[in-house]
Amino acid sequence: MTRAGFHLVEQDSLTLPADAVLITLASQEQLDALFAGPPATINSVLPRVVLISDPSPDGAAAALALGAADALAGPVHFPELCARLSARIRAQQNPVVLGPAGNGSEPQRTGNEASSDQDAGALEHRVQEEFERARRYSLSFSLVLLGLDELQGMEERLGADTAGRLRAEVGQTLRRELRVPDLVVPYGPDEFAILLPETGEAGARQSVIRVRERLTSLPFESDPRLEPSRFSAGIVTYPHPAAASPDDLFSLAEAALMRGRAQSIERIGLAM
In tens, the pLDDT along 124-175 reads 999 999 999 999 999 999 999 999 876 666 667 767 787 788 888 888 889 9
The DSSP element (H or E) to which 73 belongs, if any, is strand 70-73
Phi, psi of 13, deg, nearest 5: -135, 155
DSSP β-ladder status, 268-270 and 231-238 = parallel
pLDDT (mean) for 235-249? 92
Report how far residue 140's alpha carbon sits from residue 131's, in angstroms, rounded to the nearest whole number: 9
- Are 177 and 214 contacting, i.e. CB atoms less than 8 angstroms apart? yes
| CATH architecture designation of domain 114-270 | 2-Layer Sandwich (3.30)
pLDDT (mean) for 228-253? 89
In tens, the pLDDT along 49-108 reads 888 887 766 777 777 777 777 777 777 777 767 777 777 776 666 554 333 333 444 434
Closest CA to 204 of 212, 196, 216, 193: 196
In tens, the pLDDT along 187-221 reads 987 899 999 999 999 999 999 999 988 888 777 66
Q: How confident is the prediction for the chain on average, in pLDDT?
A: 77
| DSSP letter for each residue of 166-219 | HHHHHHHHHHHHS-TT-EEEE-STTEEEEEEET--HHHHHHHHHHHHHHHHHS-
Q: What is the pLDDT of residue 183?
A: 93
